[in-house]
Amino acid sequence: MSLSVDSIIERIGGAEKIASLTGVGTEAVRKWRQARAIPPKHWPVVAKAAGVPIEALQPGASGAETSSSEFSSHDQKRDSIMSEQSGAVSGAIPDGATAALVLADGTVFRGMGFGAPATGEAIGEICFSTGMTGYQETLTDPSFAGQIITFTFPHIGNVGTNAEDDEAARVSARGLVVKQDLTEPANWRSAESLDAWLKERGVPGICGVDTRALTLRIRDKGPQTAVLAHVVDGKLDIEALKKAAVAWPGLEGMDLAKVVTCEKPYGWSQGVWEWPSATKPLPAKLRKVVAVDYGAKRNILRCLATAGCDVTVVPATTTAEEILALKPEGVFLSNGPGDPAATAAYAVPAIRGVLDAGVPVFGICLGHQLLALALGGKTYKLERGHRGANQPVKDLATGRVEITSQNHGFAVDERSLPNEVRVTHVSLFDRSNEGIASNTLPAFSVQYHPEASPGPSDSFYLFERFVAMIDARQASGVKAG
Ligand SMILES: NC(=O)CC[C@H](N)C(=O)O
């Protein structure tokens, strides 16, 4: 029977006591707690001081001890894993490695697995997010379907997880890659650790990866496929994983909106959060808005409600006739995963029908790309996707710069836009398109995420602009729908 690290530390009289006894700092003791293991070289001293047999320090005998790790010393093992991961892998499993990230270009990163086990089914485009907060919102953003996320921020896990921060009912990302072991939660809102949360949702993760090297590779060589595999003994068929990565067709041409959309229409009437725990009361006047769900984030629906919309969410494949039958005063096109050109097959005829009826339209991210396609433009795959919460965007009408939250791998080709469509926003990172508006129809959209979650809320004004557009049309005497 092994004892938990916490109970051993308690027996000895606390972190400072055990630190001075073993000649380490209290930071090292914090890491032992996090790794749920004490390095073997300290076992004789610790066992004696705690008055327990040395076997009791061996992790793995009790369920609680093994839940996140099979290692005796994460720090020592990580060193050996990190030095092994430069590229070609000999086939030998580095000491302590239980997971691997295998890229289609043949690069193999070994590391330690966390979250759910996976033997190769976690396959998708490997991308990186530079966001420093909001890993839970990111993981539950349906736009990440078909992708494995590398978080460049190191302390993933630090605020735990809670039921309120989900952006959708499921996790759509196929896996996550981090540098350090998951950080233990230290936040009053945390209900569960990220590790347990991932296990419950069947999502695998890998830590101990040199995320800087991985990010540079994606940044400089462009998007590619990866497989994340995680098994307890680390015995993985790397060659088979490489083959699977090469065989995966990639996101181009993939319609994933139909995979993540809702099954049937539903109403939404919750506003944005208001400190400390309630949601903001909705305004008295509400406009009837139909939101087409290509993979909608909940905070978009909250922002629409707070701006004054009575929202009915409908599935991605809803036709123009079905949308117009609901007599909307405005139609919203949501964010979502996959290639806009593929989803356009059914989305563009529906959007066209709504535009032809003169109903005001507002789109975000995939919704922006689909509006551009419906207005006659084209989309393309970016060499470097934009994912993070600090992306500068310039509003060309005002010259104002907004710091925005973004997550997209495709973009609207400005050169393809017809004369009656103007560019409204541009990325200050790479000058790619971030917003358009029609000169002849009440329709506009942005590539970035004005709803934040995670990220800044500089761009909330866009929801108000949509509501003002609806009101202007109603004031001009047009009947709804
Ligand atoms: N967040 C989104 O809506 C993403 C849109 C699209 N799937 C892209 O990657 O560009």
Mean pLDDT over 285-314 rounds to: 98
pLDDT of residue 26: 75
Residue 71 lies in a domain: no
- Co-location of 9 and 92 in the same domain: no
Is 409 touching ligand 1 by the criterion CB < 6 Å? yes
| C-alpha span between 43 and 38 (Å, rounded) | 7
Residue 252 lies in a domain: no
| C-alpha span between 417 and 188 (Å, rounded) | 48
pLDDT of residue 74: 43
> For a substitution probing ligand 1, which of 386, 407, 451 has the most ligand atoms within 8 Å of its CB?
407
Number of domains in the chain: 3
- Co-location of 110 and 40 in the same domain: no
- Co-location of 227 and 328 in the same domain: no
- Co-location of 29 and 131 in the same domain: no
pLDDT of residue 310: 98
Provide the CATH number for the domain around residue 376.
Answer: 3.40.50.880
Residue at a domain's end among 15, 34, 66: 66
Residue 481 lies in a domain: no
pLDDT of residue 317: 98
Cα(365) to centroid of ligand 1, in Å? Answer: 6
Is 365 touching ligand 1 by the criterion CB < 6 Å? yes
Q: What is the pLDDT of residues 342-354, one digit of tens each?
A: 999 999 999 999 9
Q: Is the pLDDT of residue 17 over 60?
A: yes
Cα(66) to centroid of ligand 1, in Å? Answer: 38
Q: What is the pLDDT of residues 240-296, one digit of tens each?
A: 999 999 999 999 999 999 999 999 999 999 999 987 768 889 999 999 999 999 999
Q: Give residue 479's pLDDT band: very low, low, confident or very high (50, 70, 90).
A: low
Residue at a domain's end among 247, 267, 296: 247
Which residue has a Cα nearest atom 5 of ligand 1? 366
Is 160 touching ligand 1 by the criterion CB < 6 Å? no
Cα(277) to centroid of ligand 1, in Å? Answer: 30
Is 367 touching ligand 1 by the criterion CB < 6 Å? no
Residue 57 lies in a domain: yes
| C-alpha span between 314 and 346 (Å, rounded) | 14
Is 410 touching ligand 1 by the criterion CB < 6 Å? yes
Greater pLDDT, 175 or 280: 175
Ligand 1 atom closest to the Cα of residue 334 is: 3
- Co-location of 351 and 396 in the same domain: yes
What percent of the chain is predicted at pLDDT more than 70?
A: 92
Q: What is the pLDDT of residues 184-239, one digit of tens each?
A: 999 999 999 999 999 999 999 999 999 999 999 999 999 999 999 999 998 999 99
Provide the CATH number for the domain around residue 28.
Answer: 1.10.260.40
pLDDT of residue 75: 42
- Co-location of 316 and 342 in the same domain: yes
Ligand 1 atom closest to the Cα of residue 256 is: 7
- Co-location of 241 and 298 in the same domain: no
Tokens 């068929």 correspond to what residue?
237
- Co-location of 148 and 277 in the same domain: no
> For a substitution probing ligand 1, which of 292, 300, 335 has the most ligand atoms within 8 Å of its CB?
335
Is 407 touching ligand 1 by the criterion CB < 6 Å? yes
pLDDT of residue 282: 94
Write out the residue range of the structural domain in which residue 24 sits.
Answer: 5-66
Ligand 1 atom closest to the Cα of residue 449 is: 1
pLDDT of residue 93: 83
Q: Give residue 63's pLDDT band: very low, low, confident or very high (50, 70, 90).
A: very low
Cα(258) to centroid of ligand 1, in Å? Answer: 14
- Co-location of 88 and 169 in the same domain: yes
Q: What is the pLDDT of residues 67-126, one digit of tens each?
A: 233 333 444 444 444 434 444 444 678 888 999 999 999 999 999 999 999 999 999 999
Cα(143) to centroid of ligand 1, in Å? Answer: 6
Q: 455 phi and psi, to 5 degrees?
A: 120, 180
> For a substitution probing ligand 1, which of 128, 252, 258, 369 has the most ligand atoms within 8 Å of its CB?
369
Residue 480 lies in a domain: no
Is 447 touching ligand 1 by the criterion CB < 6 Å? no
Q: What is the pLDDT of residues 317-372, one digit of tens each?
A: 999 999 999 999 999 999 999 999 999 999 999 999 999 999 999 999 999 999 99
Residue 311 lies in a domain: yes
Sheet containing 433-438: order of strands:
266-268, 309-315, 287-293, 330-333, 361-364, 443-446, 433-438, 421-427, 378-395, 401-413
Provide the CATH number for the domain around residue 88.
Answer: 3.50.30.20
Residue 414 lies in a domain: yes
Cα(385) to centroid of ligand 1, in Å? Answer: 9
Q: What are the angstrom distances between the C-alpha of 106 and each of 103, 118, 123, 179?
A: 5, 19, 14, 20
Is 142 touching ligand 1 by the criterion CB < 6 Å? no
What average pLDDT does the structure give for the chain? 91
Is 143 touching ligand 1 by the criterion CB < 6 Å? yes
Residue 409 lies in a domain: yes
Residue by residue, what is the 3-state secondary structure of the chain?
CCCCHHHHHHHHCCHHHHHHHHCCCHHHHHHHHHHCCCCHHHHHHHHHHHCCCHHHHCCCCCHHHHCCCCCCCHHHHHHHHHHHCCCCCCCCCCCCCCEEEEECCCCEEEEEEEECCEEEEEEEEEEEECCCCCHHHHHHCHHHCCEEEEECCCCCCCCCECCCCCCCCCCCCCEEECCCCCCCCCCCCCCECHHHHHHHCCCEEEECCCHHHHHHHHHHHCCEEEEEEECCCCCCCHHHHHHHHHHCCCCCCCCCHHHHCCCCCEEECCCCEECCCEECCCCCCCEEEEEEECCCCHHHHHHHHHHCEEEEEEECCCCHHHHHHCCCCEEEECCCCCCHHHHHHHHHHHHHHHHHCCCCEEEECHHHHHHHHHCCCEEEEEEEEEEEEEEEEEECCCCCEEEEEEEEEEEEEHHHCCCCEEEEEEECCCCCEEEEEECCCCEEEECCECCCCCCCCCCCHHHHHHHHHHHHHHHCCCCCC
pLDDT of residue 88: 43
Cα(426) to centroid of ligand 1, in Å? Answer: 16
- Co-location of 108 and 13 in the same domain: no
Q: Is the pLDDT of residue 39 over 90?
A: no
Catalytic residues: 365, 449, 451
Q: Is the pLDDT of residue 177 over 60?
A: yes
- Co-location of 431 and 305 in the same domain: yes
Ligand 1 atom closest to the Cα of residue 367 is: 3
- Co-location of 381 and 330 in the same domain: yes
pLDDT of residue 413: 98
pLDDT of residue 59: 63
Cα(126) to centroid of ligand 1, in Å? Answer: 14
Q: Is the pLDDT of residue 65 over 60?
A: no
List residues forming the annotated binding site for L-glutamine.
Answer: 143, 336, 338, 366, 369, 407, 409-410
Ligand 1 atom closest to the Cα of residue 141 is: 1
> For a substitution probing ligand 1, which of 149, 408, 446 has the most ligand atoms within 8 Å of its CB?
408
Ligand 1 atom closest to the Cα of residue 335 is: 3
Mean pLDDT over 406-421 rounds to: 98
